[in-house]
Amino acid sequence: MNYTRIYCDAAGESHFEDVSVAVAPVDFAPPAPPLNIAEPVEAERVILCDVPPAWGGNWHPTPKRQFYFQLSGQLQVTVCDGEMRKFSAGSLVLLDDTTGKGHLTEVVGSAGLSAVFVQLPEANGAAG
């Protein structure tokens, strides 16, 4: 399973990283057949979010280490090194740039977007 990580380097600059997480068969919901599951990640809270069309934020770090699941719409994210990526429904991003300049986000297209944030505890050792 893959996701994108946005992180901050020692100079306070944000970057993208592509992360691959190993999964293995787990008897998760018997009597259903096993599912391929990654190691669990401790979560603190879940936030459901709707973002209006044309919304754009200034440069900002993530307020908390969190996974971002995009359910609909399209989001463009730019990091400090100038790399820009577009995320659409089904995207998974670990926002890990809690310090430094952060990243720039903008809803693109004529529709807004829906997303889920899963905030992680401060001492979490999630992949990435």
How does pLDDT run across 40-90, given as a tens digit for each residue? 999 999 999 999 999 998 999 999 999 999 999 999 999 999 999 999 999
Q: Residue 81 falls within a domain, yes or no?
A: yes
Spatial neighbors of 47 by CB under 8 A, at least 6 apart, are 116, 117, 118, 119
Domain that holds residue 35: 2-119
Q: Residue 125 falls within a domain, yes or no?
A: no
Residues 18 and 4 sit within 8 Å (Cβ to Cβ): yes
| Residue ranges of E strands in 1-128 | 2-8, 14-20, 24-26, 35-37, 45-51, 66-72, 74-78, 84-88, 92-96, 104-108, 113-119
Q: Residue 126 falls within a domain, yes or no?
A: no
Domain CATH for 87: 2.60.120.10
Q: Residue 22 falls within a domain, yes or no?
A: yes
Q: Residue 72 falls within a domain, yes or no?
A: yes
124 confidence band (pLDDT: 50, 70, 90): low
Say how many domains are in the chain. Answer: 1
Residues 97 and 59 sit within 8 Å (Cβ to Cβ): no
Q: Residue 128 falls within a domain, yes or no?
A: no
Structure tokens of 20? 């691959």
Q: Residue 35 falls within a domain, yes or no?
A: yes
Residue recorded with tokens 């200034």: 58
